[in-house]
Amino acid sequence: MEGVKVSLACAFLIFAVSSIASAAIVEHTFNVQNLTMSRLCKRQVITVVNGSLPGPTVRVKEGDSLVIHVINNSPHNITIHWHGIFHRLTVWADGPSMITQCPIQPGHRYAYRFNITGQEGTLWWHAHSSFLRATVYGAIIIRPKPSHSYPFPKPHKEVPIIFGEWWNTDVVALEEAAIATGIPPNNSDAYTINGLPGNLYPCSKDRMFNLDVVKGKLYLLRMINAAMNMQLFFKIANHKLTVVAADAVYTKPYLTDVIVIAPGQTVDALLHADQSIGSSYYMAAHPYASAPSVPFPNTTTRGVIHYIGGASKTHITKRVLMPKLPSFFDTPTAHRFYSNLTSLVHGPHWVPVPRHVDEEMLVTIGLGLEACAGCPNSKFAASMNNHSFVLPKKLSILEAVFHGVEGIFTPDFPNQPPVKFDYTDPNITQTSPGLLFVHKSTSAKVLKFNTTVDLVLQNHALLAAESHPMHLHGFNFHVLAQGFGNYDPTRDRSKYNLVNPQFRNTLAVPVGGWAVIRFRADNPGAWIMHCHIDVHLPFGLGMVFVVENGPTKSTSLPPPPPDLPRC
């Protein structure tokens, strides 16, 4: 019996040592600087990381620790957000300006330190201060530990596909003018794939993403929508794709010929290269415009896939086939894709749905107006439950929480909208014009540690009915149900998927509709939930969850790092 105990102890020690040995500290330096780049027949000064657009790809394995040294050599304040990372007990590294930190000022630096635990797949990083996210972004690729494997066939190659938007103007000045006037900023001039607009735009014949593939091989496309404002349809001519993950959570394989991806979301999909050697096919993306009445940039970005053969990498010149993309306004196709994704039950890092609910919330989201004293017209605004979020200016919310500083935020975000009405009636303001006007505040919802929250996100149509991609920092959430019209608990609770719902960090709430998400507040800190259409966040479409400490040190908010930027 003693020998058995010794053997078990040795086995445990070997396992522990091997687990530690397999983890690594991955270190990067991000030099944030201005760069002059030529696009669309014009030279434009933009802000980038390490002189490239997109910025560097961060490659890690599950269990690794990351240290990212951000050196701000740009003329702008900057923070970096690690979109989708849980940041368990490293909330100080989450990155949203004035939520978890003051910005890194020009000429200063800050080291983001955090662990990659319980996550595999594609996430991304981006600026989280002003419109700098338009050009300050890049991929995070999290592979399984060395002893683990993907729950799908091993691909021959992994390819990041990052969608973006390009403006032929200074995006920081663009945002400043929009906030000052209350008028939304101008639409972008182009969409991009891996920073390149493609040959449908002027002066862009040679600025198109090219991918060489070998017939019979399998490719993993790691897609990220880094666009500022638009959901996108994406297709590859003569090919189908198998979705295997969304927001770094494995999904049940889903075969499709079209990908729909909202700002902030990621999709991993397998491409089987099954066409003829020497052939070429366009990949293309254009917007899904959920609100037809709202002006949008109706252009198309594209790249090209070339089939190469043997040792030769010569491209045979011939007609390149273009995919037929859905209509800009094809809501049924978008909803079909979004609602058909399900989690891979018992796959790596699978999380079952919590069955006990402690707190229920119904939150309306959408556009409204801000009354402006002395202005000829009211200003454009956005809100959640009629609270239009205002960032604090003196101290971050997380620092206020940790140090107990009052007056930075108010813990009064409501569980219900202040007035109940027919949320999806576009004519409601004709009889109730007062519904349009929002309440400006810096309000938070305080949750006890380990609270399970059911949150109904209800789009309203006061100014325009549109789909809103909502992102929650610090957590994934289960998407229990989604639909159109007004949420009705009596009717719609029967639609809840409690078996294998999507588990993700960003959800496109259906246009003129609703979605129900559920999450467990087991991560202490201050976590913003906001619309990932960047024209909306500066106008107030956000709120904060403050999660209180748990009963132990390992479930409590740690002190701030000594080099945390100061305001």
- Residue-level pLDDT at 534: 74
Distance CA 521, CA 545 (A): 9
Percent of the chain with pLDDT over 70: 93
State the Cα angle at 224 between 480 and 234, rounded to 5°.
85
- Has residue 539 got a pLDDT over 90? no
- pLDDT-based confidence at residue 531 (cuts at 50, 70, 90): very high
- pLDDT-based confidence at residue 193 (cuts at 50, 70, 90): very high
CA–CA distances in Å: residue 276 to residues 215, 237, 280, 316: 7, 13, 9, 11
Distance CA 289, CA 330 (A): 8
Closest residue by Cα to residue 397 from 310, 526, 495, 513: 526
- Residue-level pLDDT at 185: 87
Percent of the chain with pLDDT over 90: 84
- Residue-level pLDDT at 19: 45
Cβ atoms within 10 Å of 158's Cβ, excluding its own: 14
Distance CA 543, CA 521 (A): 15
- Residue-level pLDDT at 12: 40
- Residue-level pLDDT at 432: 87
Per residue in 434-481, pLDDT (tens digit) is 899 999 999 999 999 999 999 999 999 998 889 999 999 999 999 999
Across residues 528-549, what is the average pLDDT? Answer: 88
- Reported as type and span, the H/E element at residue 33 is strand 25-39
Per residue in 265-304, pLDDT (tens digit) is 999 999 999 999 999 999 999 999 998 888 999 999 999 9
CA–CA distances in Å: residue 37 to residues 41, 68, 330: 10, 25, 34
Name 52's bridge partners. 49
- pLDDT-based confidence at residue 307 (cuts at 50, 70, 90): very high
- pLDDT-based confidence at residue 419 (cuts at 50, 70, 90): very high
**How far is the first Cα of the chain from the last one, in angstroms, to the nearest whole number?**
62
Residue at token pair 């991009």: 192
The residue type at 413 = F
- Residue-level pLDDT at 181: 82
Tell me the Cα Rg of the chain.
Answer: 24
- Residue-level pLDDT at 537: 65
- Residue-level pLDDT at 294: 87
State the Cα angle at 515 between 510 and 518, rounded to 5°.
150
Identify the structural domains of the chain with CATH numbers, from first to last.
Answer: 23-146 (2.60.40.420), 149-347 (2.60.40.420), 359-555 (2.60.40.420)
Per residue in 150-189, pLDDT (tens digit) is 999 999 999 999 999 999 999 999 988 888 887 888 999 9
Closest residue by Cα to residue 170 from 32, 34, 31: 34
- Residue-level pLDDT at 79: 98
- pLDDT-based confidence at residue 374 (cuts at 50, 70, 90): low
Three-class DSSP category at 84: coil
For residue 443, the 8-state DSSP code is B
Q: Which structure tokens are listed for 423?
A: 């949320």
> Rounded to 5 degrees, what are φ and ψ at 360?
-120, 135
Distance CA 325, CA 510 (A): 20
Q: Which structure tokens are listed for 337?
A: 């894709």
* Interacting residues of 285 by C-beta distance below 8 A, sequence separation 6+: 163, 191, 193, 232, 233, 234, 235, 300, 301, 302, 325
Q: Which structure tokens are listed for 205?
A: 């014949």
Closest residue by Cα to residue 505 from 265, 323, 303, 321: 265
- Greatest Cα-to-Cα distance within the chain, rounded to the nearest angstrom: 87
Beta pairing, strands 506-509 & 502-504: unpaired
DSSP letter string over 257-304? S-EEE-TT-EEEEEEE--S-TT-EEEEEEEEE-S-TTS------EEEE
Closest residue by Cα to residue 556 from 525, 535, 511: 525
